[in-house]
Structure 1
Amino acid sequence: MSEKIIPVVMPKWGLSMKEGTLTEWHVDEGDTIEVGQVIMDVETDKIASEVEAPDAGLLRRKVAEEGNIYSVQALLGVLAPPEVTDEEIDAYIAAFVQPSSDEGDEEEAASAYAFIDTDAGRIRYSHLNADASGTPYVLIHGFGGDLDNWLFNMDALAEKAPVLALDLPNHGQSAISADVQFNDLINTVVTVMDKLDIERAHLVGHSMGGLISGELARLHPNKVASLTLIGSAGLGKDINSNYIRGFVESESRKTLKPVLQLLFADSSLVTRNLVDDVLKYKRLDGVKASLNTLADQLFVDGTQSVALDLDAIPSPLVIWGESDAVIPASHASNISNAEVHILAGAGHMVQMEQAAAVNALILSHTQ
């Protein structure tokens, strides 16, 4: 009967994740679960997120308790049809052997992040499934973000093709320089693509990363196989200037947390660790000045001052969180000949809050 038993395990989001806290179950024993149904909430050292069921079935047993920390791939629950006896489930749980972390896991996690030299300085990047066939995906984060903004997207896309995500200049763990201009961000993406022999890619840009992606498509159309714009800048004038100025100016947990909560429809996703990670970045020498320089170029007098040349963007995929409090979802209607999806239950970080839906849309648009 064991082949009819399906384990529910702690998911792994990115190579650096080792464990997570099961904060809440959303299903009960005896519930029939569908693929994609939200079954629990998990919090890591990066972020809290809902977990969607990868398998369908009858939840016969909850093994894990709310509030406890479990390592990746730990057994949390058991799915099995009614004909499987309780004794068989007991035996399955007792005999369950958690897949061990590869001995090279730490080395693999470290090697997942590499650095490359550009005119804008040293750039951190992650290049997953680099040797695979297929047109690569290049993921470009937004203002103040980093490549971990794609934590819930990289692995899913890498199952189909290579995936490159990078920290833009003055962001994440890339070099900080007050002299970097907006055009340097575009040129840096091109340089990294060239140095990694990525001749043509599916560009996926979030927020300011959408603006960068669209400009790159205009300047280097031969490098762009498709374009996905997620909560993109450059499609209208409106922007929440309180978010921009608040992100730049906040210097304490108390002032930064409400600013970061503007990014999500569910503000509880902003964990203490997430706030601390952003504060750690913002306290690096030169970060505040460099963000001010960039904000002064892109967001003049509380509005967006750089607009995408929409004629240069053929048939993009446009994704927005319905509850976006940073850039209005109504901007999605400002681009013609686009495949537009407005996702409920998500804010500006829709690729995190509705990761499964966003991943499915990108794969459908690009395969």
Structure 2
Amino acid sequence: MTIQAITMPKWGMTMTEGRLAAWLSQEGTRISLGQEIMEVETEKITNVVESQVEGLLRRVVVDQGATAPVGALLAVVAEMSVPEGEVEAFIASYAGRAGSSDADGAGDPSPRLVEAGPHRLNVLSLGGGEATPAVLIHGFGGDGGTWLFTQDALAQNRPVHVIDLPAHGGSAPTVPSGRVEDMAAAIIDALDALGIAKAHLVGHSLGGAVALSIAASAPDRVSSLALVAPAGLGPEISTDYIEGFLAADRRKPMKEVLSKLFAEPDAMSAEMVENVLRFKRLDGVPESLEAISGNLVSGGRQALDLRASLAQVNAPVLVVWGEKDAVIPSSQADALPGTVKVERIADAGHMPMMEAAAAVNRLLSSHLAGADG
């Protein structure tokens, strides 16, 4: 007779605990593989968790609203035929597991600074194997944390590298021009430094424009493109968001700005706001962000037009967009070349990889596998 555990997941290298925001399935009900069973609050956002097991949700061990360490037992799945004593013994067996070396990230890879030509870029690498590596590129004002729910999911059978753009995250501000082409060149320098001849590029927003620029200037380095709410495919963009992000220097205005990224702003954590404010205070960052924004937006419209570049990409291309995107409208995914696969995510905004992580991870995994050939 099988007893199965539902535990606190770990997303990202820095996560040590999570808050169980809500149970979406009740004790005594049946759950199936892939069913949304709970919401867990991380340092950035509250994320829905899909079940990795199926059966009867026999016992809820941690109530909603409680905080538990990574790896902690949250609930038990077992049929009623399993004696109560065995369920109790199973629960007791988990008492010392949470926070152990397996759960707290001991031995996990850490971000590192990579000397890439004239650049010092912050890189986090996971995974291994013979499959083509994937490189994940975040958007304007973001960092590698954008891929909190993505990197590990894609790294099950391939190397996956998250690279902070210049003047973002832990990378030095080495592109004073702020031009997308120069940031693309920095990522190519990073590929050289990492010994990557060819990669799947996954880019979000500004990172999507950077990925497209790489595909245009160095097509032999690109196995496929996956563009999540990319910049450069239409004129509309929320200048309120860009200008507000540049101007915000306190918690309240920054929270109001960042809320535009999500279909459900209440899911965003206070820690995310604080992290962005700390980042904006680093030497050289405000000036770099101003330069980048000047190359992104002009006269209230996007200054980039990369549709022609997209039409010339020979590699497989996937475009993913949240239908409730308030920064760059999802209508810009309309009338793309027929070779481009477009997927829209209902009830997600500009950050579908965070708001609908499981769905986006399935799309990306399938896209990469197909492009591997």
> Normalising to structure 1: TM-score of the pair?
0.94
**Structure 1 residue 102 displacement after superposition:** 2.2
Residue 94 of structure 1 aligns to a residue in which SS? helix
Could you list the runs of 5+ residues in structure 2 that have no partner in the other structure?
A: none
What is the CA deviation profile of residues 24-71 of structure 1, one whole-angstrom value per residue up to 9, with x for unaligned ones? 111110121122222112122333222221222211110002222211
Determine the C-alpha separation between the residues in 1 that align with 2:267 and 2:354: 10
Residue identity opposite 2:344 in structure 1: I
Q: Which residue of 2 aligns with 1:96?
A: 94
Cα gap change, 1:112 to 1:132, in 2 (>3 Å): farther
Asked if the contact 2:134/2:158 (under 8 Å) is kept, the reply is: yes
Q: Within the alignment, does 1:127 sit opposite 2:112 as a pair?
A: no
Determine the C-alpha separation between the residues in 2 that align with 1:177 and 1:209: 16
Q: Within the alignment, does 1:165 sit opposite 2:162 as a pair?
A: yes
Determine the C-alpha separation between the residues in 1 that align with 2:256 and 2:90: 45
Q: Within the alignment, does 1:320 sit opposite 2:321 as a pair?
A: yes
Determine the C-alpha separation between the residues in 1 that align with 2:73 and 2:133: 34
Residue identity opposite 1:357 in structure 2: A
Q: Which residue of 1 aligns with 2:202?
A: 204
Cα gap change, 1:212 to 1:175, in 2 (>3 Å): same
Cα gap change, 1:318 to 1:35, in 2 (>3 Å): same
**Structure 1 residue 122 displacement after superposition:** 1.4
Asked if the contact 1:178/1:289 (under 8 Å) is kept, the reply is: no
Determine the C-alpha separation between the residues in 2 that align with 1:302 and 1:257: 22
Counterpart of 1:181 (choices 171, 178, 181) is 178
Asked if the contact 1:249/1:288 (under 8 Å) is kept, the reply is: no
Cα gap change, 1:126 to 1:16, in 2 (>3 Å): same
Counterpart of 1:62 (choices 47, 50, 60) is 60
Asked if the contact 2:20/2:63 (under 8 Å) is kept, the reply is: yes
**Structure 1 residue 95 displacement after superposition:** 2.6
Residue 27 of structure 2 aligns to a residue in which SS? coil
Q: Within the alignment, does 1:79 sit opposite 2:77 as a pair?
A: yes
Residue identity opposite 1:155 in structure 2: D
Q: Which residue of 2 aligns with 1:108?
A: 107
Cα gap change, 1:38 to 1:14, in 2 (>3 Å): same
Residue 262 of structure 1 aligns to a residue in which SS? helix
Determine the C-alpha separation between the residues in 2 that align with 1:59 and 1:284: 48
Q: Which residue of 2 aligns with 1:146?
A: 143
Residue identity opposite 1:117 in structure 2: E
Determine the C-alpha separation between the residues in 2 that align with 1:22 and 1:104: 17
Asked if the contact 1:178/1:293 (under 8 Å) is kept, the reply is: no
Q: Which residue of 1 aligns with 2:263?
A: 265
Asked if the contact 1:120/1:180 (under 8 Å) is kept, the reply is: no
Superposition CA RMSD, Å: 1.7
Identity %: 43
Cα gap change, 1:104 to 1:51, in 2 (>3 Å): closer
Q: Which residue of 2 aligns with 1:238?
A: 236
Determine the C-alpha separation between the residues in 1 that align with 2:175 and 2:3: 57
Residue identity opposite 2:129 in structure 1: A
Determine the C-alpha separation between the residues in 2 that align with 1:119 and 1:306: 26
Determine the C-alpha separation between the residues in 1 that align with 2:35 and 2:301: 38
Paired residues for 1:276-295 under 5 Å:
276-295=274-293
**Structure 1 residue 300 displacement after superposition:** 0.7
Asked if the contact 2:321/2:344 (under 8 Å) is kept, the reply is: yes
Determine the C-alpha separation between the residues in 1 that align with 2:186 and 2:7: 39
The size of the alignment, in residue pairs, is 363
Determine the C-alpha separation between the residues in 1 that align with 2:363 and 2:102: 35
